[in-house]
Amino acid sequence: MSKIFLEAVKNRRSFYALSDEKIVPKERIEEILREAILHVPSPFNSQSTRMVVLFDEHHKRLWDITLEILRGITSPNQFEKTENKVTNAFRAGYGTVLFFEDQNVVEGLVKQFPDYAEIFPSWSIQANAMHQFVVWTALEAEGLGASLQHYNPLIDEDVRKNWSVPENWKLIAQMPFGKPLSSPGEKEFSSVDERLKVF
């Protein structure tokens, strides 16, 4: 079983050429997200991570919003490259998972455990990152390609308005996914021996 898990970890990559062909049912994607929400660990079992999954016109609207915001802050000579990336790498996909952290939960932990007050925000981000990794790897195992994006805080307010996201949910990352249309390039690795010590 550990070999299967590590194989999925190894195969998880960033895919930037996607299509919206539904090779995995929406119900299966929802099941993956539910399993991740339930079983990925969090500090003090705080369960502060929140997710929103957008399909079809909702998914496309997210990236249309993002593109319009970027148009307003990107120089005209750079915007064509930006537009191509957003349109073909993100919007062209099947859906997007939005990852949030519930700040009410984090603030509650700060009050409840004042000795750890300074570190709870960092632990919260670490828990969110674990959710991102589990979802990304699970999508890969289903044959979907994905990447992790960070257009927050630029899009935060529009996301909140368009999908009735509570004020206390802080947007952390966006994960567009879809059917991969090409393979990622070769990945370079620095020496494991320089990064791992065994005693």
Pick from 173, 128, 132: nearest CA to 150:
173
Question: What confidence category does residue 3 fall into, taking pLDDT thresholds of 50, 70 and 90?
Answer: confident
87 pLDDT band (50/70/90 cuts)?
very high
Residue ranges covered by each domain of the chain:
20-181
Q: Could you tell me the end-to-end alpha-carbon distance of the chain, in angstroms, rounded to an integer? A: 26
Confidence band, pLDDT 50/70/90 cuts, at residue 1: low
Among candidate residues 130, 105, 110, the one with its CA nearest the CA of residue 120: 110
Helices and strands, counts by H and E, the chain: 7, 5
Q: pLDDT digits over 149-185, tens only?
A: 999 999 999 999 999 999 999 999 999 999 999 888 8
Is 179 in a helix, a strand, or coil?
strand
Q: What tens digit of pLDDT does each residue of 18-63 get?
A: 999 999 999 999 999 999 999 999 999 999 999 999 999 999 999 9
Instruction: Report the mean per-residue pLDDT for the chain.
Output: 95
Q: Is the distance from CB of 173 to CB of 148 less than 8 angstroms?
A: yes
Give every CB contact of residue 194 below 8 A, 6+ residues apart in sequence: none
CATH architecture of 20-181: 3-Layer(aba) Sandwich (3.40)
What is the Cα–Cα distance from 43 to 79, expressed in whole angstroms? 41
pTM of the model: 0.95
Q: What is the mean pLDDT of residues 84-110?
A: 96
pLDDT digits (tens, 9 = 90+) for 65-84: 999 999 999 998 999 999 99
